[in-house]
Chain A
Amino acid sequence: AQKITQTQPGMFVQEKEAVTLDCTYDTSDPSYGLFWYKQPSSGEMIFLIYQGSYDQQNATEGRYSLNFQKARKSANLVISASQLGDSAMYFCAMKEGFKTIFGAGTRLFVKA
């Protein structure tokens, strides 16, 4: 069964606009962590933001914020004030115990 679902294969956003990348997950473990990674065309994987299952507040890191809705099992990434350099693949990941599994990714295109 798919544990991490990213339903948007591709997204377009105008430069300086905000964009939301969707992620839903499935787990029965009460303790888990959710991560977002960025993969530019160079191929490197860059950690962006983390949300723990017990965290009371939504995580924020600069222009990145995570819209965590625990009851709906969703952990959407919000990028504010998009920049051309934000064009990349974005992966949502969930850590259960020591295992981290990834969604299929969303390719974001930022238009000038």
Chain B
Amino acid sequence: GAGVSQSPSNKVTEKGKDVELRCDPISGHTALYWYRQSLGQGLEFLIYFQGNSAPDKSGLPSDRFSAERTGGSVSTLTIQRTQQEDSAVYLCASRITGTGIGINNSPLHFGNGTRLTVT
């Protein structure tokens, strides 16, 4: 597709259930990021992938959160045993990386997010 695609767009789940959020980045974008945005707040960094590896997992809030990326493309963010404080919009972004001119200033391209509500 032309842009970053996230699914589902909305997810309502009961406390204690597991959820999977999916991100399909722009083709050719090797870097992929997950952020969390609580209502009216800024973006909280969760995890970053370069290809299939995640050199920076420092933002994951707890061991209930995990993410993977396969084939250098689609990524899945999994939240186990969801809690009410997990309710937020989860944003995925991708960007092109490399050594060409202008690559270092390539911006993040965001999906429309998944709004997660834990009841």
Contact = CB atoms under 8 A, between A and B. Distances in A.
Do these two chains interact? yes
Nearest to A92: B42
A25 interface: no
A50 B105 contact: yes
A110 B90 CA distance: 28
A104 B39 CA distance: 12
Chain B interface size range? 20 to 34
A95 to B, nearest CB: 8
Interface of B: 31, 33, 35, 41-43, 45, 48, 50, 55-56, 89, 91, 93, 97, 104-105, 107-110, 112-113
Contacts of B105: 33, 50, 52
A104 B108 contact: no
Contact of A52 (B35, B104, B109): B104
A103 B37 CA distance: 12
Nearest to A51: B105
A12 interface: no
Q: Which applies to chain A's interface (DSSP): helix, strand, loop or mixed?
A: strand
Interface of A: 31, 33, 35, 37, 43-45, 47, 50, 52, 91, 93, 98-105
A47 B107 contact: yes
Contact of A98 (B41, B50, B89): B50
Contacts of B48: 98-99
Given A43-B112, A104-B42, 19 more contacts: A31-B104, A35-B108, A37-B107, A43-B89, A44-B112, A45-B91, A45-B110, A47-B107, A47-B108, A50-B105, A91-B43, A93-B108, A98-B55, A100-B33, A100-B108, A101-B45, A102-B43, A102-B45, A105-B41
9 contacts: A31-B104, A33-B104, A35-B107, A43-B89, A43-B112, A45-B110, A93-B43, A98-B97, A105-B41
B42 A105 contact: yes
A70 B3 CA distance: 33
Contact of A91 (B42, B89, B112, B113): B42
Contacts of B55: 98
